[in-house]
Structure 1
């Protein structure tokens, strides 16, 4: 049964400042990408703590909520309540943002929605190539021709598809934009250009020469044309009489925009694309190792800032014009695999079983192409695996560049994208791409294993459920205090029993013992647990926090539940307590010893679950 994300969607809408604070919303493979009117209205602190939210990134002019693989479901749930996806509003408020941020926001908004159809069509092209190589299909087979049609359509009609996406971002009429895109690949225009080239004649419009360019598969010309349309349409509409507007405004708009597109904008876009390809060609000839090395090493940083959307269009343009991408896809592929390798090394290195589970799940996800969970959940958090991943990605990128590896289809960069490196005309490319993936994984794995974790993390041991019943463990992460040092006379005097206190550094409270929950205070600030041997333990969160009447406390257990030492029993808003002037010390007090003697550790740094 599919998980219901309705409640999560409702909270997200509220925490980003409400529906009225949202200009637009799109999503990529793992992130919700909001364009907010005022990012200061978003409750980032609360969002970061929500179950189902991995991280919050404010970059590239967007407020990005990292969800993971369930992002499409959350996106759908949000739009069922607020319908942001159908909105054609564009953030006028981004005028306050930097120029780079606005450019990245625009690029992301145009290209994110079309990546999925391009990836699907790209894989169909790969299937056709493999089937042809093994002789399963021949160009004469109608099945071959249909599959080729399926794979090529999205690329041939890319001007139309990109026009619709760009129109939404530029806040102009999508249907007029698609007409402009369709005109660039119209059979009439294509035939005029073909005939003129064959016989050596010119093509003119209003007596002015038209550049004999081919715009199918193109990227830059249609983006420029739709941008121009976004300025022309409102001006024409404003000055057209209302009674004639329904036909006269679009007629004048199309005449102006289409004429400008064929005479000026299209040629400029073509020259820019050719210039971009020329620069890449020169680099591939003189320093072929440089670009893949840089992309392989820096992709984690590019993803953090949203800058990777600056190079994706370059790769798409190369695929459209040259049939091969040596810039974006290869370097990103080995970088993702390197991130997975660096994280998986920690599964062998760390003694922390929770961290082991996290690195295994997110590491394999990264290898398959989804990196946000491992980037924000592991590599950025511990730093050293990030350095290892950048090193491994750079080494593998260097190998890619030296061997001249490129992909032949637009697919998400990861291990599953390897088939996109197959070409019957260049069969060695996929071999070198596979070798680069191996180099990325092994290099980053070894580097991460050798670097390890910072000492305080590598010493961290989380007990498992096989701890004996006479065990007492730390109820949270933080600094231990002897009970006498607690700023409360009742606790410090040990009138309720002996024990220890922890000045917490996290917002989670764990059970210090195996046992049965006998008391859960209605305010959620205190819990009583009895061990199987009859020893009774009180866990008390903060001093005088009963006065908060439950505000900031969330009980994760109920009276009568059986708990294990190290199991989470409560969450609390530590910052809320501090802001309101409360002492956050967490006391573990043995209220009934049953004749047993306890000698608990009294000082030093502890992690939740450490043996006391």
Structure 2
């Protein structure tokens, strides 16, 4: 392998020395921080000899090189003067702020997708069952099922508080409590009464935070600094009770008096601007509303238009919000279905299909928006373009909604009214254009997913092999924990099997042991990853956690060195996984056979739990 030539090609393709802010490497990747990442063509970088794949993650451009990464890095160092400092929170381009913002929302929302899908499908049932006569919409069963379906959405701020706390390294239960303050029934009652409310003499904006996203994310981000401040100034002897007391008081006050109202004020400003545009050019106002409706709903600013769409009737039809939501909702559903049809990822295919059905039939777009389109960005752009085109058409034809309902295919009768059948025909045309155009655009734009390399040969392995055997064709679990497929690891390099076949373990103990008799061939200075080679030549990488290289060795202890011989079951690493979790890192630990190509097949034992030194992989 010519490391020098490949290193030079990589440097040229990422924009040369002048475009490299810093470069470091971990166990398998070159990690670039680039001044202008958008100029890099991933396809060209992947064609460089030795490159296994690329990733854009956390403000870094990561080039996956495998076990020889140190050799490529040495050649890179000879080609220029690069900083090897990890990027700070403020590094990166200003124009990357929106991308970082989207990544935060997507990362915090992803764990909520199963709950939202479940709630969305219940809403679909609530529409379909009365239509076919199975359920009476005035029954108590219908009423109870209604709040079954509403619960995941109304209490979204509480669930988001927990996931955001993990991302921003905030005490989770304090964040959840602040979300509870914003949704407390007594506060909701104050909002409904509409009388002025003051807290320590400060005016509280009467806003509804149910189903909102942005206010709680901003609040938890602020709590990161509030918690850090009180942690520094409060004496240890009284910290256990004064720290949570002060955090809740300050955070609750900021949530109700400062942060929460921002969405309300922004919504009022948006409402005034759109209504002004509508008065000048109605077609433009509808085009803008339909295009940006996903982002407007995400921030909760659509409630500023509530006086318009909640009173929709034949006497006072809505010509703005509900028509715009028709195009936007169906576009989200169509984009999700296109992703489901195009992706090779089985899990994404299922999630996207269910999300698409929920959006098309019930108008519940959260699963599609947060789980699919926002996450992959290009489907969101396709939906917004389609929404804009449909919005202009609706503005020109004067589409009106004569009843309040969440727009969807099933709710199209809300557009029946007016003279003749022109209005409902236009609504059907909009629905058709939105679905077809979005699907086609999403298909053309594609999605940036890592291709899965499927095994071409299938070999049956007998599972009836006694655990503890010295069979050199077996790899033993280096730790106790839950076993998951590599496809479920939250890192494309591993889930895409760029490094090779294997499994991952979510650890339940802090000790990591050797998976076979062999030799330590690589131990990264931060001790988050270790490479071993068995006596029979099986090369294994144990990568402890995801992105844990950023911890710079903190919470990791190594008991072996590179070149040292090890015996199966010998203690090689110790990790304080509780501290790693507190720092906000995923502890899933991939165990990968990096020389997979040297074997016919790597077969994972079909288990979901393992003890240390139990067989987890068979090498054929």
TM-score (norm 2): 0.42
TM-score (norm 1): 0.43
